[in-house]
């Protein structure tokens, strides 16, 4: 059963790379080419929110105890960010299935919703890992981030000539998390009360 759980977690991370990173990159270039203002705005918001997912990977590499909790929060926020905006939702409703770009975007939104739900369900099977990732039972959640660790380690060594270690990853992740939280609080206090669920993409279109 543990082996099946390990394979399931590994597959979840591999699939998440496709739907949380690969497809959004494709949609970003596609929407720019098609000059679709609504999707451009949606994806720009998505990329800002998705920074928390990359921060959570740094924290997983650094074996920070609450890294898995932050990973689930990131996928939850990413899902909310693509459904939250009334003006973008209304704009997408105007397109039928013959429009490949918007149809792909709609399928993608549902896909990341199921990915976030899948992450949560799998995480709840190892509930103790939410607060203590360093236990033996939680190793299955640390292994998928090893490839990301190797990539960052090589890039860090190439650009800075220094060794990228797990403690460095942890502190970088915590610093980035602090900046992210401050940015989220600023948006919640200043922009959310003013604009609500309006992304203002139509105002940018008129400019």
- pLDDT single digits (tens) 25-42: 999 999 999 999 999 999
Query: Helix axis angle, 67-83 relative to 37-61, nearest 10°?
Result: 180
- pLDDT single digits (tens) 143-184: 777 777 777 777 777 666 667 788 888 999 999 999 999 999
Q: How many CA atoms lie within 13 A of 89 on its CB side?
A: 10
pTM for the complete prediction?
A: 0.89
pLDDT of 161: 67
Point out the residues of the chain with pLDDT beneath 70.
1-3, 158-162, 203-207
For residues 163 and 12, give the distance between their C-alpha atoms in angstroms, rounded to a whole number: 29
For residues 46 and 49, give the distance between their C-alpha atoms in angstroms, rounded to a whole number: 5
CB 99 within 8 A of CB 71: no
Of 75, 65, 70, 64, which is closest to residue 128 (Cα–Cα)?
A: 65
pLDDT of 115: 92
Query: Within the chain, where are the H helices?
Result: 2-17, 23-34, 37-61, 67-83, 86-93, 100-125, 139-142, 146-160, 166-186, 192-195, 201-206
């Amino acid at each position: 059963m543990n082996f099946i759980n390990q394979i399931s977690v590994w597959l979840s991370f591999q699939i998440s790379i496709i739907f949380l990173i690969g497809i959004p990159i494709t949609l970003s270039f596609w929407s720019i080419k098609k000059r679709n203002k609504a999707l451009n705005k949606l994806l720009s918001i998505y990329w800002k929110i998705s920074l928390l997912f990359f921060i959570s990977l740094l924290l997983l590499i650094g074996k920070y105890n609450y890294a898995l909790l932050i990973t689930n929060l990131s996928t939850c926020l990413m899902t909310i960010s693509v459904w939250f905006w009334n003006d973008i939702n209304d704009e997408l409703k105007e397109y039928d299935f013959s429009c490949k770009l918007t149809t792909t975007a709609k399928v993608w939104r549902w896909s990341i919703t199921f990915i976030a739900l899948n992450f949560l369900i799998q995480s709840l099977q190892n509930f103790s890992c939410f607060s203590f990732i360093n236990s033996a039972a939680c190793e299955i959640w640390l292994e998928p981030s090893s490839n990301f660790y190797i990539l960052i380690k090589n890039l860090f060594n190439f650009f800075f000539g220094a060794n990228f270690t797990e403690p460095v990853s942890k502190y970088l992740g915590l610093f980035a998390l602090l900046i992210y939280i401050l940015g989220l609080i600023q948006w919640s206090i200043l922009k959310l009360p003013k604009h609500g669920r309006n992304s203002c993409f139509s105002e940018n279109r008129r400019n």
